[in-house]
Structure 1
Amino acid sequence: MVTSYVMVKASTGDVDRLREEMLSLDEGVRSVSIVAGDVDFVVKTEVDSPGEVKEIAAGIHGVDGIEDTQTYMAMD
């Protein structure tokens, strides 16, 4: 099992729509938290391979209103 955290910066204030779209991208998306700070969301994923993390990150980039992401994979 590969756990990752994707930090997401949005270019729109429509946080509820963005949250719902990211939650519906893949069954590996476990949670989407709206946060304060340098990023707008933290997306937690749990999937079988790093390749699946890449697919989810690409899907997040494809959501209208997403500006940037940074992906971190857990080591334990």
Structure 2
Amino acid sequence: MVTAYVMVKASTGDVDRLKETMLNLHDGVESVSIVAGDVDFIVKAHVETPAEVKDIAASIHEMTGIEDTQTYIAMD
């Protein structure tokens, strides 16, 4: 199993819509937290393969209202 965190910066103030969309994006998305700081959301995913992490991150990055993403895979 692979656990990953996607840091998401939004370019819109419609955070509730984006949060719901990200939560429903893939069965592996465990949580979406709205946060303060350099990013607007932290998405936690728990999936079978790194390829699924890539698919989730790419889907988020392509969403309308998303400015940037950074993906981190947990090492333990």
* Partner residue in 2 for 1:55: 55
Q: Does 1:29 align with 2:29?
A: yes
In angstroms, what is the RMSD of aligned CA positions?
0.4
TM-score when scaled to structure 1?
0.98
Q: Which amino acid aligns with 2:27?
A: E
Q: Does 1:8 align with 2:4?
A: no
Inter-partner Cα distance in structure 2 for 1:19 and 1:65: 11
Runs of 4 or more, structure 1, over 3 Å off, are none
TM-score when scaled to structure 2?
0.98
Unaligned runs of 5+ in 1: none
Unaligned runs of 5+ in 2: none
Count of paired positions: 76
**Identical columns (%):** 75
